[in-house]
Amino acid sequence: MKFEDDILSGLIDINSRVLDVGCGDGSLLLHLKKNKRVDGRGLEIDQKLVQESVAKGLAVIEGDAEKDLVDYPGNSFDFAILNQSLQQFYDPRRVVNELLRIAKSAIITIPNFGYWRVRLSLLVKGTMPVTENLPNFWYNTPNLHMCTIKDFHSLCELDNINIIKSISLSSGKIGNIQKSNLEIKNLTSEIGIFLVRKS
Amino acid sequence: MVLFEMNLNFNNIKKITLDKTLDLDCGVQLNGFDIAYETYGTLNENKSNAILVFHALSGDQFATETNTVTGKDGWWSYAIGNGKAVDTNKYFVICANVLGGCMGSTGPKEMDPSTGKPYGLNFPVVTIKDMVSAQVHLLDYLDIKKTLSVIGGSMGGMQALQFCTLFPERTFSSIPIACAASHSAQNIAFNELARQAIMADQEWDGGNYLTSGKIPRKGLAIARMAGHISYLSEQGLQNKFGRKLQEKSDLKFSFDADFEVESYLKYQGYSFVDRFDANSYMYITRAMDYFDLYKANNGNLSSAFKNSKIKYCIISFSTDWLYPTAESKKIVIALNAIGAEVSFVEIVTNNGHDSFLVNEPAFFNTLKGFVDSAYEDFKNEI
C-alpha cells in the first residue's frame, strides 16, 4: 500500500488542494499533507474509518460518493483521487465525470481485469477469478463494474477525457502505458493508475 | 401538587456582573448583565487549551462534576471530565448559563433593577446571537482571545454555529452537534406546544407568578414532557418501555399511570419544575425558534461562514428526528462550498436527539479524536 501511496503522491503537486474520494483511514491524505503540504479533504462511507481519519486531524466527511459528489462545487480542487473503488459504483462513468467537474485533475486507480492471471483463471477454471487484487467470490464481491486498462482508456476517449499519465503496476514494478504498448500492458498489469483531465 | 421535590441550593452560583452594554437583536439595550459560569480543568500558559461549551434548552453551566444547585451530576458528565472525551486533565472547559436562562445569568427570573421585581415578561426577547455575544464578554473577562474549540449540542450547537459566524477569529475549531442552521416548522411547533402548556396553567398568572408567589408546575411539566418525547426515538422508547406496566400486573381501567412510559414522562416533567423557571423556558424556546442563519444571510448559508479558517466537525445522530441528519448535511454542504475544513459524522444509534447526552462510545470517539488532533495543531499555532 505504501508503495502505491508513493506513486500517487508523485503525481500530486505541492500545496495543491486534494479531495480523496473513499479515503479509508486517511493514511494517503496524511501522507500527502506531510510530504506535499496539500490542503486535503476526504469522503468516506465507513463511519469507523471516518473517525480514524478525523482523529488524525484530517477533514473527512462521512458520505456516499455515488450520491454526495454532486454537492461539491465545480473546480474546487486541483486533484480528486479515486483509489481502487471505481468498479464499486453503480454508475462509474458518471463518477469519473463528477471527479473532473470538481477537480482540475483526477487520479484513478483500478484493479485490471485484463491481467493475464485473471484471464487465465476464467479461461481454465471457468469460474469468476479470485486473485490477490480481487479476493472475493462473485457472490460477495463489492465490485459491480470490473474493467480493464483498455476499457478505461476507451471510456476516456468516449468522454473526451485526456489521459495525462497512464501507469502500470505489476509485482511492484512500475511502467508507462502508451498507445503502442496498450495491448501488452493490459495483459501484464495488475493495477492501472491514471492521471486524467477534461479536454 | 408537588410530586418530586428536590432540595435546591441556589446560593453557591458563581457569576460575574459585566459592566457592558449588550445591543440585543430586538433593539433593546441591556446595560450591565450577569453571567453565571463554571470552569473545569486548568488554563495552560499560552492559553491554547480553552474550550467553550454551550448548553442546550434545559441545561445550565454545570456541564460536569456535581451541579451545586441540584446535587446531581452535570448534564454532560459522560463527555467532559477526567479522562473523558473532553479531558479536563488536558483542557480548560468553560460553560456559561445562557442569557435568558435561570441559573444565575440575567434572565426573566432575575431582578429588574428598574422595578426591583423579577423581570417576568418585561425581560426582552433574546436570540441565540444575543446569548453568544454575552458569552464572548465572559471570554474577554477570562482574558481568552481564542478558544481551542466551541462545542455544543442542540441549542448549544446553534450557539457554536452562531459563534463562528460572529467571531471567526476567536476559535480554532467548532463542533456543532445534533443541530440545524435554522429552526424547522416542526421544531417551532413543538416549542409552541410547550409555551401554550405553560401559559394555559393558571398559576402562570400572566407571567407574574414569581411576584404573586405561584409556580406553574403543571404547565412547565407538560412542556417538558412534550420536549422529552421529541428527544427520544420511536425505537428507543419502544426498547426502553414497550408496553410494560408500572408496578402493576394488569390494566386498571383508569387514567392513572398504567404504563411505565407514562410514569417516566411524569417524572421527567415534574422533576424539572423545581430547577427550571417557566418564563425562562418560554424565552429560550423563542430564541431557538428565531434562529435562522439562512435568513440572516439572504438565503446563502455559505456566506455566513465565509473567510473563516475554523476547523469544523459536524455530528448528527441517525434517529434524531428533531434535528435530522439532513439538517447537518446542509451545513456541511454550505461549508464545503467555501472550501472550509469540515468533517462530518452521522452516529448510528437508537437514542434519538438525546444521543449526545448519553453514553454513546462512537460519538465520544469522534469527539475525542477531533478535539485532541485540533489541540495538536492549535498549540503549535498560537
Kindly report the CATH number assigned to the domain that includes residue B199: 1.10.1740.110
Query: ipTM, 2 decimals?
Result: 0.91
Residue A1: predicted pLDDT: 52
For residues B281 and B315, state if they share a domain: no
Interchain pair B366, A51: CB under 8 A: yes
Q: Are residues B167 and B203 in the same domain?
A: no
| CA angle (B357 as vertex; B354, B360 as ends), nearest 5 | 95
Q: How far is CA B169 from CA B163, B208, B339, B372, in A?
A: 10, 42, 17, 20
Residue B380 exposed, middle or buried by CB count within 10 Å (0-12, 13-18, 19+): exposed
C-alpha cell at B313: 466537525
Q: With contacts defined as CB-CB under 8 Å, which chain A residues touch B173?
A: none
Q: How many domains does chain B have?
A: 2
User: Is B320 a residue of the active site?
Assistant: yes
CATH number at residue B302: 3.40.50.1820
Element (H, E) at B372: helix B361-381
Q: So what's the pLDDT on residue B1?
A: 43
Nearest CA in chain A to B335: A72
- Which of B34, B130, B320, B354 is catalytic? The answer is B320
Residue B117 and residue B215 in one domain:
no
CB contact under 8 A, A61 and B332: yes
The amino acid that residue B96 corresponds to is A
Reading the block at residue A117, the C-alpha cell is 492471471
Chain B residues within an 8 Å CB radius of A55: 365, 368-370, 372-373
Considering B267, B285, B303, which residue would you say is the last residue of a domain?
B285
Identify whether residues B303 and B256 lie together within a single domain: no
**Residues of chain B above pLDDT 90, percent:** 93
CA-CA distance, B272 to B224, in Å (whole number)?
Answer: 7
Phi and psi of A53, rounded to 5°? -65, -45
Cβ-defined contact of B344 to A41 (cutoff 8 Å): no
Restricting to B residues 314-333, those with a Cβ less than 8 Å away from any Cβ of A are 332-333
Nearest CB neighbour to B333, from listed A41, A57, A71: A71
Class of the domain covering A2-112+144-198: alpha beta
* Residue A52, C-alpha cell as written in the block: 480514524
pLDDT digits (tens, 9 = 90+) for A133-177: 889 999 999 999 999 999 999 999 999 999 999 999 998 899 999
Euclidean distance between CA atoms B159 and A96, whole angstroms: 39
* Nearest CB neighbour to B343, from listed A54, A72, A76: A54
Q: What is the pTM of this model?
A: 0.95
Q: What are phi and psi of B287, to 5 degrees?
A: -60, -40
Q: Which residues contact B247 (CB under 8 A, 6 or more apart)?
A: none
pLDDT digits 0-9 by tens, B273-324: 989 999 999 999 999 999 999 999 999 999 999 988 999 999 999 999 999 9
H or E segment to which residue B52 belongs: strand B50-54
Please judge whether B345 and A54 are an interchain contact, meaning their C-beta atoms are less than 8 angstroms apart.
yes
Q: What's the angle, vertex CA B349, arms to CA B346 and CA B354, rounded to 5? A: 90
Residue ranges of the alpha helices (H) in B255-339?
260-270, 278-290, 301-304, 325-337
Q: Quick one: pLDDT at residue B5?
A: 58
Residue B2 lies in a domain: no
**The pLDDT of residue B4:** 55
Torsion of CA B320, B326, B332, B336, to 10 degrees: 170
Q: What percent of chain B has pLDDT over 70?
A: 98
Domain of B128? 10-184+292-381
Pairing of strands A77-83, B171-177: unpaired
Partner A contacted by B361 (CB < 8 A): no
Q: How far apart are CA B123 and CA A94, in angstroms?
A: 57
Question: Which residues of chain B make contact with A72, given a CB cutoff of 8 A?
Answer: 336
> Cα separation of B363 and B352, whole Å?
13
The 10 Å CB-count burial string (b at 16+, else e) for B96-125 is bbbbbbbbbbbbbbbeeeeeeebbbeebbb
DSSP code for B118:
E
The reply to whether B180 and B82 lie within a common domain is yes
Looking at the partner chain, which of B333, B343, B377 has a beta carbon nearest the beta carbon of A60? B343
Does the residue B246 lie in any domain?
yes
Interface check A184 vs B, CB under 8 A: no
Alpha-carbon distance of A77 to A94, in angstroms, equals 18
The A residues from 107 to 166 touching B (CB cutoff 8 Å) are none
Say if residue B174 is in the same domain as residue B200.
no
Last residue of a domain, one of B242, B269, B285: B285
B84 domain residue, yes or no: yes
3-state secondary structure of B367: helix
Query: In angstroms, how far is CA A17 from the centroid of its own chain?
Result: 17
Return the C-alpha cell found at B164: 463562528
* B159 lies in some domain: yes
Domain boundary among B268, B285, B302: B285
Residue B67: what pLDDT?
95
CB contact, 8 Å: B362 with chain A? yes
Q: In whole angstroms, what is the distance from residue B379 CA to residue B147 CA? A: 11
Shortest Cα distance, chain B CAs vs residue A51, angstroms: 5
Task: Locate B186 and state its grid cell.
Answer: 416542526
- Domain presence at residue B1: no
Enumerate the residues of chain B whose CB falls inside 8 A of the CB of residue A73.
336-337
% residues pLDDT > 90 (chain A): 92
Nearest by CB: A54 against B337, B369, B376 = B369
Spatial separation of the C-alpha atoms in residues B371 and B279, rounded to whole Å? 35
Is B347 touching A (CB cutoff 8 A)?
yes
Could you tell me if B22 and B159 lie in one domain? yes
Judged by DSSP in three states, B17 sits in strand
- Would you say residue B58 lies in a domain? yes
- State the catalytic residue, choosing from B154, B230, B233, B355: B154
Active-site residue, selected from the candidate residues B55, B183, B228, B353? B353
* B366–chain A nearest CA distance, Å: 5
In sequence order, what are the residues at sequence separation of 6 or more whose Cβ sits closer than 8 angstroms to the Cβ of residue B252?
B258
B154 is catalytic: yes
Residue linked to cell 480514524: A52
Q: Is A54 an 8 Å CB contact of chain B?
A: yes
Would strands B50-54 and B80-81 be described as parallel, antiparallel, or unpaired? unpaired
A-B CB pairs within 8 A amount to 62
Residues B180, B192, single domain; the answer is no
Question: To which H or E segment does residue B39 belong?
Answer: strand B29-40
Residues B270 and B298 in one domain: no
Mark the ranges of chain A whose per-residue pLDDT is less than 70: 1
Are A121 and A131 contacting, i.e. CB atoms less than 8 angstroms apart? Answer: yes
Record the cell numbers describing residue A137, joined without a space. Answer: 467470490
- Residue A146 CB neighbour total at 10 angstroms: 19
pLDDT over 70 at B215, yes or no: yes
Contact across the interface for A54 and B336, Cβ inside 8 Å: no
Please check the confidence at residue B12 and state whether its pLDDT lies above 90: no
Shared domain for B323 and B271, answered yes or no, is no
Say yes or no for a CB contact (<8 Å) between A52 and B366. no
Task: Answer whether residue B327 shows pLDDT above 60.
Answer: yes
Same domain, B236 and B339: no
Mean pLDDT of B150-170: 98
With an 8 Å Cβ cutoff, is B370 touching chain A?
Answer: yes
* pLDDT above 50 for B344: yes
Q: Tell me: do B95 and B62 sit in the same domain.
A: yes
Non-local (6+) Cβ contacts of B202 within 8 A are B216
